[in-house]
Amino acid sequence: MIKKQLIMEKAIELFAKQGFEATSVQQITEQCGISKGAFYLSFKSKDELIFALIDHFMIQFTTDIDYLVRNADNHQNPLYKFYLEIFSSFQKHSDFGKILIKEQSRSFKQDFILKMRFYDRLMEKTILSMVERLFGENEIKEIKYDLVFCIKGFISMYSQLFLFYNVPLDLDLLSQSLVEKTNLIASNSTVPFITKEHIQMFENPLDEVVTKERILEMIEQELMEMDDSIEQESLLLLKQELLEPALPRAIIKGLIENIRNHPQTRWISYLMRIFYKM
| H helix intervals, 108-205 | 109-135, 144-164, 171-188
Give the number of C-alpha atoms closer than 13 A to the C-alpha of residue 208, restricted to the C-beta side.
2
Position 174 scores a pLDDT of 94
Q: Do 198 and 73 belong together in one domain?
A: yes
Please, what is the average pLDDT of the chain? Answer: 84
Domain termination residue (choose one: 170, 202, 234): 202
Is the domain of 89 the same as that of 108? Answer: yes
136 to 13, 141, 143, 227, 239: CA distances (angstroms): 45, 8, 11, 45, 36
**105 pLDDT above the threshold of 70:** no
- Domain count along the chain: 3
pLDDT-based confidence at residue 102 (cuts at 50, 70, 90)? low
CATH code of 72's domain: 1.10.357
- Asked whether residue 229 is domain-assigned, the answer is yes
Identify the domain boundary among 173, 202, 231: 202
Give tens-digit pLDDT for 240-264: 999 999 889 999 999 999 998 888 8
Q: Are residues 190 and 73 in the same domain?
A: yes
Decide which of 168, 202, 236 is a domain's last residue: 202
Q: Looking at the structure, do residues 127 and 146 belong to the same domain, yes or no? A: yes
Q: What is the pLDDT of residue 238?
A: 92
Q: What percent of the chain has pLDDT over 90?
A: 23
Structural domain of 1 = 1-44
CA distance 51 to 112: 8
Regarding whether 159 and 23 lie in a shared domain, the answer is: no
Q: What's the pLDDT score for residue 167? A: 74
If asked whether residues 8 and 110 sit together in one domain, one would say no
Global pTM value: 0.77
* pLDDT of amino acid 36: 87
pLDDT over threshold 80, residue 1? no
Same domain, 96 and 185: yes
Same domain, 19 and 145: no
Torsion of CA 206, 250, 59, 229, to 10 degrees: -130
Q: CB atoms < 10 A from the CB of 226, how many?
A: 18
57 vs 53: CA distance, rounded Å = 6
The answer to whether 182 touches 98, Cβ cutoff 8 Å, is no
Residue-wise pLDDT for 122-148, tens only, equals 888 889 989 998 999 888 988 999 999
Q: Does any domain span residue 207?
A: no
Contact yes or no for 263/58 (Cβ under 8 A): no
* Contact present, 237 and 255 (Cβ < 8 Å): yes
What is residue 204's predicted lDDT score, i.e. its pLDDT? 57
pLDDT the model gives residue 187: 92
Look at residue 182 and tell me whether its pLDDT is greater than 90: yes
Question: Which has more pLDDT, 69 or 153?
Answer: 153
Residue 159, C-beta contacts closer than 8 angstroms, at least 6 positions apart? 87, 90, 97
**Residue 11 one-letter amino acid:** A
- Residues 186 and 74 placed together within one structural domain of the fold: yes
- Clarify whether residues 64 and 157 are in a common domain: yes
For position 115, what pLDDT does the model report?
76
Does residue 31 belong to any structural domain of this protein? Answer: yes
149 pLDDT more than 80 = yes
Closest CA to 20 of 52, 46, 56, 40: 46
Residues 237 and 147 placed together within one structural domain of the fold: no
Mean pLDDT, range 59-65, rounded to an integer: 87
Res 184: pLDDT: 95
More confident residue, 105 or 80: 80
For 74, other C-beta atoms within 10 Å of its C-beta total 9
The Cα 35–Cα 29 span in angstroms is 6
Same domain, 244 and 136: no
Cβ(84)–Cβ(68) under 8 Å? no
Q: For position 40, which CATH number holds?
A: 1.10.10.60
The pLDDT of residue 229 is: 85
